[in-house]
Structure 1
Amino acid sequence: MVIKAGLEFVPPVLFAAFRYDIAGVVMLGYAASVSDHWKPKTRSDWTSVLVGATLIIGLYNAFLFVGQQGVTSAVAAILVAMNPILATGFARVFLPSERLTLVGSLGLLFGFIGVGLVARPDPSNLLSGGLIFPGFVLLAAVCVALGSVLTQRVESDISTEGMVAWSNAMGAVLLHGISTSLPSESVTDVELTTGAILAVVYLAVFANAVGYFIYFDLLDQVGAIEINLVSYVAPVFAAVSGWVVLNESLDIVSIIGFIVIFVGFVLLKREAISSETDSIQLRNPSE
């Protein structure tokens, strides 16, 4: 909702660049205060940062923001939800230890079907912008999936805080370069309003600074395949927030989609859920 509001005042790629300008400064300051190894020192450190800045920050946001100008949000949700499937494919190539069992693959499929039920794109609008705009959104999903896998593969010593902070800062530079190269974008098109400022600050601090620290920290813990399951959750929050805040309809098919997504999650995380259940029972034997 905040992105939608901000796009009324700022060109898309420039909007993304502004939010990462602020996020980069905030996160570099935070990384310097909490981590000793927050600066890239080795080749592997710089490789990790460059992968994050280029694929997960720069190209992902550029492709996504431009692509969304020509497709509906439902179509974009479906295309971005290809992320876990793409990550699984890339993991099989670059991370031999990252594998899904047959049941796990079934859970991944359930999640994708659930997203389809929630988003339900109109087939007649799928190619309304031709193949170019949907292709940009799909490229965005490819970039973040590949970036997640490659980041996990690179064995660097830089702290998570440092890697995320430098990725955001360098990603902002890349986004500014892309924005400058687009004839459709100009700083003169920016409308400096209170709404625009609040949108940029909110996205920079909460969606970027807080969100990316959580993302990359979990990437180290659970791996590229599972972390990208966030793509399945996003349409659920979009539908619910639209229903609560914007009075959009939330029908029975969407609710069924939520349930299907939950089933997929349970299938993927069945071992972790079972382990957690066992530990709870051990702590509370009387129950």
Structure 2
Amino acid sequence: MKRNTAIFLVLCLIWGMTWIGIKAGIATVPPLMFAGTRFAVAGLLILGAARLRGAALPRVAKRNWPRLFFVTLFMIPLCYAPLFWGMRYVDSGTAAVLELSLTPVALLAFALLLGDERYDGQRLFAILLGVVGLGILFGPEAFAGWAHPDEKGRAIQLLAMAAVASAAVIYAWGSVLARPLLEVYSSDFIAGFTTLFGGAFLILVSLVVEPGAAAALTGDWGWQAWAGWLFLVLFGSFIGYTLFMRLLHDIGASRAGAFAFVSPVIAVLLGIFTYGEEVSLIDVTGMAVMLCAAFLALRERKQGERTSLPAQQLVLAPRAH
């Protein structure tokens, strides 16, 4: 458990810092192209590093290809494409409330629906508590953005909010679908495969729908965007995504999803120390509630109690969603 706790905290620290790299990148690079190249290169690095450690690429069984395909599609293209598009039309507070609150809720819901975990009242309470904390921390900004829509009007804003929300739900679905694969294949292989091919798919989509995507391939981004891209490749994906896959395998989707209550706290603290942003008593209250929720979600159950199904049942489960 101590090892998983350390991995969880490192993941939260890394993913709490990724907003800096994303902000620097999408300021000058089409968002889907920026995300696609990040993931594709990270996938190559993950698989290459595994090969250097002596791990051969496994032969994927024919029955597992459909699940691997959908996990790749859900966790990368169908998550990040609507997320980046939606964030163009809603403010950061609204996006944070929608994505970060829905991610752990959806992770638990899919884990229960797909038979990956059993009902746990303590974990459900922790997730609901975390959602309340997110509302306290980001609610005022989200309400301000809703009260004063931009010139594109209420309809486009509603559509953008739906896109951000869908990204969280689709990512959660993909995460739970990945769990049986992680019982058969290494977390490095699953992380490398999904990021490599998911990123390649995003690049293709970007070339079709994003103005300036082809020109962006020349690499004339500016040093700030390149620095952000490099951080996201090495830390956000190469290290962070692999750690998340390991947590999915070891502690289950709903507990791993508690990162959504810790990473925003780190992001807010970074904003304070990096940009001198002010923090109010309400902000502190929201962050404290979210950290309490993460603690409850991760707390070990009494000996003999389990919320995850046995590994054999996961592998042999007849579901092929």
Write out aligned runs for 1:199-210 (5 A).
199-210=228-239
8 Å Cα contact 1:38/1:163 also seen in 2: no
Contact 2:133–2:287, Cα closer than 8 Å, also in 1: yes
Equivalent residue letter for 1:169: L
CA distance in 2 between partners of 1:22 and 1:181 (Å):
20
Counterpart for residue 64 of structure 1: 83
Partners of 1:45 and 1:204 in 2: CA distance: 27
The structural deviation recorded for 1:63 is: 1.4
Deviations 1:64-88 (A, max 9, x none): 1111111111111111121111112
Residues 161, 269 of structure 1: CA spacing in aligned structure 2 closer, same or farther, 3 A cutoff?
closer
- Name stretches of at least 5 consecutive residues in structure 1 with no aligned partner: 276-287
Partners of 1:218 and 1:75 lie apart in 2 by: 28
Say if 2:75 and 2:175, in contact at 8 Å, map to a contact too. yes
3-state SS, counterpart of residue 279 of structure 2: coil
Q: 2:145 aligns with which of 121, 125, 141?
A: 125
| Aligned residues with identical type, % of pairs | 26
Where does structure 2 lack aligned partners over 5 or more consecutive residues? 1-19, 150-155, 304-321
Identify the range of structure 1 (193-202 vs 138-147) with the bigger mean alpha-carbon deviation: 193-202
Contact 2:262/2:294 (<8 A) preserved: no
Partner of 2:222: 193
> Is 1:159 aligned to residue 178 of structure 2?
no
- Mapped pair 1:182 → 2:224: no
Partner of 2:167: 140
CA distance in structure 2 between the aligned counterparts of 1:87 and 1:153, rounded to whole angstroms = 15
What is the SS of the residue equivalent to 1:131? helix
Paired residues of 2:258 and 2:297 also in contact (CA < 8 A): no
Indicate if the aligned counterparts of 1:40 and 1:158 stay in contact, CA closer than 8 A.
no
1:1-287 correspondence to structure 2 within 5 Å = 1-34=20-53, 36-81=55-100, 82-95=102-115, 97-120=116-139, 121-126=141-146, 128=149, 129-154=156-181, 157-188=184-215, 191-272=220-301
Cα-to-partner distance string for 1:184-228 (whole Å, 9 max, x where unaligned) = 452225643222222212111111100011000010001111111
User: What's the Cα RMSD here?
Assistant: 2.1
Deviating 4+ runs (over 4 angstroms): none
Q: TM-score, normalised by structure 1?
A: 0.87
TM-fit CA distance, 1:37? 4.5
Distance 1:202 1:45 in 2: 32
Q: Is the 8 A contact 2:30 2:210 kept in 1?
A: no
Corresponding residue of 1:278: none
Contact 2:175–2:248 under 8 Å retained in 1: yes
String of CA shifts for 1:77-104, please: whole Å, max 9, x gaps: 1111211111121122112x51332232
Task: Pick closer, same or farther for the CA change 1:243–1:153 going to 2, 3 Å.
Answer: same
Measured against aligned partners, the alpha-carbon deviations of 1:113-172 in whole angstroms (never above 9, x if no partner) come to 111112223324237342111111111101110001111144762221111111111011
Q: Structure 2 vs 1, CA of residues 53 and 40 (structure 1 numbering), >3 Å: closer, same or farther?
A: farther
CA contact (8 A) 2:97 2:134 kept: yes
Q: Aligned partners of 2:114, 2:164: CA distance in 1, in Å?
A: 23
TM-score (norm 2): 0.79
- Indicate if the aligned counterparts of 2:72 and 2:194 stay in contact, CA closer than 8 A: yes
| Letter in structure 1 aligned against 2:49 | Y
Q: Distance in 2 between matches of 1:246 and 1:94?
A: 43
Per-residue CA deviation, residues 31-78 of structure 1 (Å, 9 max, x unaligned), is 212353533421255345323321112221111111111111111111
